[in-house]
Structure 1
Amino acid sequence: MYQVRFLKEKNKKLNNKLKRELKTLGFNEDYLSIKYDCDKCKDSGYVNNEMCTCLKGYLKKRKNKNSILFRDGNFDNFDENLFDNDKSKYKITPRENIIKNKEQSLKFINTFKDEENTLGLLMSGKAGSGKTFLAAATGKILLNKGYSVICLTAKEFEDIIKSFNDPDLEKKKKEILDVDLLILDDLGIETQSDYVNNEILKLVDYKMTYNKKMIITTNLTLNEIREKYKSRIYSRIISNFNLLKFFGPDLRVTIKMIKNQ
């Protein structure tokens, strides 16, 4: 104990001497101290293995022009009248269906932090059926609520995990794993390989284990997902995602026709 006290006293004297020397030379006493932009996480981005508010703020400000988050999709310009209301083609009309899907998306937002809510959203439907619009609208609201959101296409995710020479690879992976909401757009367009499938499986497993939410959009049906991927991926999706089906005429064609009238 004596030796510990002796060393503490010696260290204190040395620090005081260093401060006097710095002051003599015209510097502030804390000139040699490390200056952090964020005192909470000491610029590591994480506090107790949780993403720090500074990193969440950075992710919120980072605007990738190719990200679906920064397209026009938001609930303010949601117009169910763009969807077909013909009851002769479907059990429920595309208009009734998109309203139901909007309600499910709003429920996802409102229960986002509920501990008991471990479900993500799987938005399945053909191109132009409105799933990417709804995913973007959901992500924007959560972003404005202060949650961190990252959007990646499945192909972009593949490119990241295959960038073995990227010095920031592990940092990028950690961001994707720990972000509050990950929107994985267009599942199915990535290269089919055991490596990529295993990385997708690990991604979904991590998200579900630590209750980090996901929205997955895909042109594939559940049967096509089962055929395309390993049974473990299909099983995780069935067990942990609320399925929202999208159908009806291509919305982009409908909008173009309206504009040309």
Structure 2
Amino acid sequence: MALSKEQYDNIMLQYSQTRDRHRHELERRRHLVYAKIPEYKELEDRIPGLGLERLRSALFAAPAKSPQDEGDSTARSTSTASESGSRSIDRSGSVSFKDQIRKVSDEKRALLMRAGFPGDYLEPQYDCPDCHDTGYIGSQKCHCLRAREIEILYDQSHLKDLIRQQNFRTLSEQWYQGEDLQRFRKAVQVSRTFINNFRQDYENLYFYGTVGTGKSFLSICIAEQILNLGAPVLYFSASALFDRISSYVFGRARAEYQSFLDDLYGCDLLIIDDLGTEMTNSFVSAQLFSLLNERHLNRKSTIISTNLSLEELQDRYSDRIFSRITSNYTVCKLTGPDIRVLKKVRRNGTYKTS
């Protein structure tokens, strides 16, 4: 689920519009300066003349004598001296031309500043000075283009709002003690290793344990880092995922269903949150196995979080699903108090059940 051609073309159109905007602004500024400082335009008009003068000097310079015009030894000496002199003239002319251009530029800058304009008022302006608003530096994507691509990936991931609150910057050990803390630290280390090796290795994660112990939180922390790598990520709660699949299948929306499957099978990372909260039946079980199997065959990483123990997973779903997860996923168990409840108590000073 990389950017579509339409999405990429839209980004390139935005770059083109940005360049047009800056070009029109530069023209507006130039007309303003010409109206306020007539001498400025006179200086600008001198620059093409300097270039033509230099070109004429180069074209009509006397050619060096050839060796055939004189004796061999004399010719070599004369030719060497002539070539040396020619190079000296060229260098002198080049330096002189550069000096003239520099002098005109300094005069233009001084005129602008005396009139109350910044010295660089008529310099080209760019939103991104590194790529000059093209999106590329040479053949490489500029950081600004990568940022735009990542922004689109964030929008597609269904994670944008969640990531603002749930990320490694807000991750805390304060809610864990003893064995719970050790398990949490191990899960964090596994998560960081998963991120560091994401581009090189194919790996899947299965976070399970009691309610409110940070399983979903860690999944979203990982998602942010993978998105920042520029990799497509999709996030669904299990109930939302299978409800959507059901709506396509039983609504006979074949084209939409195939497009959705392409995204599910092809995104670099799929996160299925709260597996087991959906209404499980043979249809859901078959869809889940198909999804996990296709992603495994495509070597696309998947993260599953659930409150189900491994025994409950085996009881609820098919043996094929249990085998696929236990053999191809790194399993992390998280235990401890319900952090959501603890946070609510801290905010309100007490916890009341409804």
TM-score where L is the length of structure 2: 0.53
Q: Does 1:188 align with 2:281?
A: no
Q: Which has the higher contact order (CA 8 A, sep 6+)?
A: 1
Gap regions ≥5 residues in structure 1: 1-34, 40-52
Amino acid at match of 1:197: S
Q: Does 1:173 align with 2:261?
A: yes
Residue 186 (structure 2) aligns with: 100
Q: Does 1:140 align with 2:224?
A: yes
Moved more, 167-176 or 177-186: 167-176
How far the C-alpha of 1:56 sits from its partner, in A, is 7.3
Residue 293 (structure 2) aligns with: 205
- Give the percent of matched residue pairs that are identical in Structure 1 and Structure 2: 31
1:59 aligns with one of 143, 150, 153 = 153
1-structure distance, mates of 2:318, 2:278: 14
How far the C-alpha of 1:123 sits from its partner, in A, is 0.4
2:212 aligns to what SS in structure 1? coil
2-structure distance, mates of 1:256, 1:194: 38
Residue 238 (structure 1) aligns with: 326
1:75 aligns with one of 168, 173, 189 = 168
2-structure distance, mates of 1:77, 1:220: 26
Task: Please tell me whether the aligned partners of residues 69 and 139 of structure 1 are also in contact (alpha carbons under 8 angstroms).
Answer: no
Post-superposition CA distance 1:148-172 (Å, at most 9, x none):
1100111111112112333422111
Gap regions ≥5 residues in structure 2: 10-145, 350-354
Amino acid at match of 1:79: S
1:225 aligns with one of 290, 294, 313 = 313
Amino acid at match of 2:152: Y
2-structure distance, mates of 1:217, 1:159: 18
2-structure distance, mates of 1:37, 1:258: 44
Count of aligned pairs:
204
Post-superposition CA distance 1:179-235 (Å, at most 9, x none):
010000111112222121111101111111111000000010000001111100000
Moved more, 166-175 or 97-106: 166-175
2-structure distance, mates of 1:146, 1:252: 31
Task: Please tell me whether the aligned partners of residues 245 and 257 of structure 2 are also in contact (alpha carbons under 8 angstroms).
Answer: yes
1:150 aligns to what SS in structure 2? strand
Amino acid at match of 1:184: I
When residues 37 and 157 of structure 1 are mapped into structure 2, their CA distance, relative to the original with a 3 A threshold, is: closer
Q: Does 1:126 align with 2:210?
A: yes
When residues 122 and 37 of structure 1 are mapped into structure 2, their CA distance, relative to the original with a 3 A threshold, is: closer
Post-superposition CA distance 1:110-134 (Å, at most 9, x none):
11122xx333000001221110111
TM-score where L is the length of structure 1: 0.71
How far the C-alpha of 1:70 sits from its partner, in A, is 3.6
When residues 175 and 55 of structure 1 are mapped into structure 2, their CA distance, relative to the original with a 3 A threshold, is: farther
1:75 aligns to what SS in structure 2? coil
Amino acid at match of 1:64: H
2-structure distance, mates of 1:225, 1:198: 14
Amino acid at match of 1:104: V
Moved more, 237-246 or 117-126: 117-126
2-structure distance, mates of 1:63, 1:237: 23
How far the C-alpha of 1:60 sits from its partner, in A, is 2.7
Give the 4+ runs in structure 1 shifted more than 6 A.
53-57
- When the two chains are superposed, the root-mean-square deviation of aligned CA atoms in Å is 2.4
Residue 216 (structure 1) aligns with: 304
1-structure distance, mates of 2:328, 2:196: 18
How far the C-alpha of 1:82 sits from its partner, in A, is 2.0
Post-superposition CA distance 1:64-120 (Å, at most 9, x none):
37x78446110001110122x2x4xxxx2x122211110100000011122xx3330
2-structure distance, mates of 1:157, 1:234: 19
1:156 aligns with one of 226, 231, 240 = 240
How far the C-alpha of 1:36 sits from its partner, in A, is 6.1
